[in-house]
Amino acid sequence: MNYVMPKIDKMLHGGDYNPEQWLDRPDILNEDIELMKKANVNVVTLGVFSWSVYEPVEGEFNFQWLLNIMDNLYENGIYAILGTPSGARPAWLDEKYPEAMRVAKNGVRNHHGLRHNFCMSSPKYREKIAILDTHLANNFGSHKGLILWHISNELGGECYCNHCKHRFQEFLRNKYENDIKELNQQWWTTFWSHQYQSFEQIEPPYQNGETTIHGLNLDWKRFTTWNMTDFMKSEIEILKKNVLEVPVTTNFMRLYNGLDYYEMAKEIDIISWDSYPAWNNDYESLSKTAFDTAFDHGVMRSFKRDKPFLLMESTPSQVNWHPFNKLKRPEIHKLSCIQATACGADMIGYFQWRKGRGSFEQYHGAVLDHLGRSDTRVFRDVTEVGELLKKMEPVTGSLLKSEVGMIFDWNNRWAIEDLAGLSKNKKYEDTCRNQYEIFLRNGIEMDIISQEADFSEYKLLVLPMLYLIKPGYSNRLKDYVKKGGTVIATYLTGYVNENTLCHLGGFPGDGLQELFGLYIEEIDSLYPNDSNGVSILMNSHQSSVTFSVSDFCDIIKPQDATVIGRYTKDFYAGTPALTVNSYGDGMAYYVGARMDEKGMEYLYQKIWKEIGITPKQLPEGIEYHVRSNEEDTFEFYLNYTNEVKNIMDISEGTNLITGEKISQELSINPYDVTVIKLTNTEK
């Protein structure tokens, strides 16, 4: 079994608990424990923003209040995840050490306040948090209830202070091996006379400074990731030095664009993240919101493919920071929680247990409202999920497996976003999401991975808009296809090296023309109301189907590739838009234009058939996943529609939630879920 933590062989259910806000109300603290038990809560996250209570005055510490609470929780069967409080600074610290406050992109230092805005380079800040973390390790490290450290909170943002500037210069000096000429070459600084004579001249991309050098912008983002990761590591090191056996996480914020989560994920033991979708909004279907969330879970799961992840935060009712904060519909609570487990989570965590009386989050949803009663809809919904999670105990430690990988890469995302030209409608993230959704609708699991990840075992590798290719990646791709793998790439593939210098000799560059058997002579960027078509000859070669394309159209010059689709309009009507090249034992598909989802699905179906991937017949609005371990297989079906949905050809098994035997046909009620433990794999 791949349990997420050695001690934990059951699904975790709980969330952020802020007892420090209620220390003058022992009645409430006692009631909390009773109600947690009633709500089937077995874990809480503590201390995330407790610095000013731990250390009200510099050097004077107080941890007893939390020790008492943790003892009490543990005696009542509730584990603790303990945060380090670096996410928000006490007033005394900013007053005495203003250098700990972050400097914004305009070069101006923040005032005291808010959160998530410390300078991650500041030696003073690192020193102060190291002292505090050492106390945490010493006081709580051996507590029986402690199962996980939670570093800071949703690390993010950038700092433009002088200290960070100098660290950026050092980072560049290391990267370019002290060779300023090389940096100038890679950043192409002769353009507009931007050459640097020394590393000391280089500044971060201040708002009113140098924002036009793509290489600089990209290196700044890499630096920020490195610096934030370095800060996080400095906290981890303290904890691990003092406490060996407790694993470490940090809570990611969805697909936050400012930090390369692939880099950060390497440094933590367990992946956890915070999910706050706008359920039941007025601009998309419920299943669209759900499928988007499944993509987010997919990215998180894929960071560590050998372990479940944790849903650290989600709201039990509404949030307070969306433009409109609708109540979470009763059925959605169950659906979204079980969806997370279907996608590989072994914990459902909420923000928050009890609403605070005042300040910024006083109207943020919680298990317990200001009303203070447990006979509420939200409390019942939460309790029900807790019960379901108990029934799903056998699923704990099982994993999702996939025959398909897709590259979704932060460096590539940054480079595409910064690219000046072509079209405003670059939509890298949306394009990846759309591909994922096609696979999900067809019941085909997909790992979402970086360029560094191993992809040798997949039958298919999907490479949407792989504009920036890291060193060595093209060779790995060619190797993979030579050995029988299949890749599918699109317009905007292989334009630049890792520092955004264009490849010469045509796109796709870096040796990829050989793989795809073509080169691109030009790329047309269409206006939003323009469109073209791609006509694909069907198997019989007698008739064809046509799909709409928008935004990007490559003008393709095939060399060895076979043309499978041609443009229908404009001056390039009749020229190739879709090709395939057989390379070694494998195949390399190239999609030269942004084809609509129907077109992509048509193409994928053809590919799946060729390479032996079997799609599943799923009714519209149904999400399907499979988790398994050495002994058992669990199938998840989630219905996001207001209709009963029938699914045929169901393998024999037991519904883990109701205990009923299932075979052949499954009927799922509107907004309901079914988790089946398959019989043939039962012990």
- Is residue 274 involved in binding ligand GAL (CB under 6 A)? yes
The amino acid present at 450, given as its one-letter code, is: S
Enumerate the active-site residues: 154, 313
Chain position carrying tokens 């970086």? 450
Q: Which is nearer to ligand GAL, 337 or 675 (CB)?
A: 337
Question: What is the phi/psi pair of residue 167, to 5°?
Answer: -65, -35
Half-sphere exposure of 36 (CA within 13 A, CB side): 32
Q: Which is nearer to ligand GAL, 382 or 481 (CB)?
A: 382
Smallest gap, in angstroms, from Cβ of residue 115 to ligand GAL?
Answer: 8
DSSP structure string for 98-161: GGGB-B-TTSPBP-S-SSS-B-TT-HHHHHHHHHHHHHHHHHHTT-TTEEEEE-SSS------S
Residues 629-648 that bind ligand GAL (CB under 6 A): none
Q: Which is nearer to ligand GAL, 351 or 602 (CB)?
A: 351
Strand pairing category for 562-567 and 532-537? antiparallel
Pick the closest to residue 49 from 157, 152, 155, 158 (CA basis): 152
Report the alpha-carbon distance of residue 74 to residue 34 in Å, rounded.
Answer: 13
Half-sphere exposure of 386 (CA within 13 A, CB side): 23
How many residues does this entry show for the chain? 683
Pick the closest to residue 223 from 164, 161, 178 (CA basis): 164
Q: Which of 233, 364, 476, 616 binds ligand GAL (CB under 6 A)?
A: 364
CB 252 within 8 A of CB 232: no
CB 531 within 8 A of CB 518: no
Residue 621 neighbours by CB under 8 Å, 6+ apart? 285, 286, 287, 639, 640, 641, 643, 645
Smallest gap, in angstroms, from Cβ of residue 47 to ligand GAL?
Answer: 12
554: three-class secondary structure by DSSP: strand
Residues 232-261 that bind ligand GAL (CB under 6 A): 253
- Is residue 276 involved in binding ligand GAL (CB under 6 A)? yes
Pick the closest to residue 40 from 326, 328, 433, 382 (CA basis): 382
CB 16 within 8 A of CB 45: yes
Q: Which is nearer to ligand GAL, 153 or 493 (CB)?
A: 153
Q: Which is nearer to ligand GAL, 348 or 488 (CB)?
A: 348
Q: Which of 164, 319, 347, 561 binds ligand GAL (CB under 6 A)?
A: 319
H/E stretch holding 651 reads strand 645-655
Q: Which is nearer to ligand GAL, 319 or 444 (CB)?
A: 319
Q: Which is nearer to ligand GAL, 382 or 415 (CB)?
A: 382
Smallest gap, in angstroms, from Cβ of residue 256 to ligand GAL?
Answer: 10
Q: What are all long-range contacts of 543-547, with beta carbons under 8 Å and residues at least 24 apart?
A: 545/602, 547/595, 547/596, 547/598, 547/599, 547/602
Burial zone of 621 (CB within 10 Å; 0-12 exposed, 13-18 middle, 19+ buried) = buried
Binding mask 327-356 for ligand GAL (x = CB under 6 A): ------------------------x-----
Q: Is the peptide bond before 197 cis (omega within 30 degrees of 0)?
A: no
Size of the site for ligand GAL (CB under 6 A): 10
Smallest gap, in angstroms, from Cβ of residue 315 to ligand GAL?
Answer: 6
Q: Which is nearer to ligand GAL, 65 or 276 (CB)?
A: 276
Tokens of 180: 């300023």
Give CA torsion, residues 82, 88, 92, 96, to 10 deg: 120
Q: Which is nearer to ligand GAL, 21 or 575 (CB)?
A: 21
Smallest gap, in angstroms, from Cβ of residue 80 to ligand GAL?
Answer: 17
Smallest gap, in angstroms, from Cβ of residue 285 to ligand GAL?
Answer: 24
Report the alpha-carbon distance of residue 460 to residue 611 in Å, rounded.
Answer: 8
Smallest gap, in angstroms, from Cβ of residue 277 to ligand GAL?
Answer: 12
Angle of helix 214-242 versus helix 180-187 axis, rounded to 10: 120
- Is residue 92 involved in binding ligand GAL (CB under 6 A)? no
Q: Which is nearer to ligand GAL, 122 or 153 (CB)?
A: 153
571: three-class secondary structure by DSSP: coil
Smallest gap, in angstroms, from Cβ of residue 118 to ligand GAL?
Answer: 15
Smallest gap, in angstroms, from Cβ of residue 362 to ligand GAL?
Answer: 12
- Is residue 153 involved in binding ligand GAL (CB under 6 A)? yes
Smallest gap, in angstroms, from Cβ of residue 127 to ligand GAL?
Answer: 25
- Is residue 607 involved in binding ligand GAL (CB under 6 A)? no
Smallest gap, in angstroms, from Cβ of residue 156 to ligand GAL?
Answer: 10
Residue 4 neighbours by CB under 8 Å, 6+ apart? 270, 307, 308, 309, 310, 346, 347, 397
Question: What is the phi/psi pair of residue 675, to 5°?
Answer: -120, 115
Extended beta strands in 359-450, E state: 404-407, 446-449
Angle of helix 162-175 versus helix 214-242 axis, rounded to 10: 100
If you compute the radius of gyration of the chain from its CA atoms, what whole number of angstroms results? Answer: 26
Report the alpha-carbon distance of residue 9 to residue 448 in Å, rounded.
Answer: 26
Q: Which is nearer to ligand GAL, 313 or 381 (CB)?
A: 313
Smallest gap, in angstroms, from Cβ of residue 274 to ligand GAL?
Answer: 5
Extended beta strands in 205-363, E state: 248-249, 251-253, 272-274, 309-313, 345-350
Q: Which is nearer to ligand GAL, 218 or 319 (CB)?
A: 319
Q: Which is nearer to ligand GAL, 77 or 113 (CB)?
A: 113
Smallest gap, in angstroms, from Cβ of residue 312 to ligand GAL?
Answer: 8
Please give the residue ranges that form the binding site for ligand GAL (CB under 6 A).
153-154, 253, 274, 276, 313, 319, 351, 361, 364
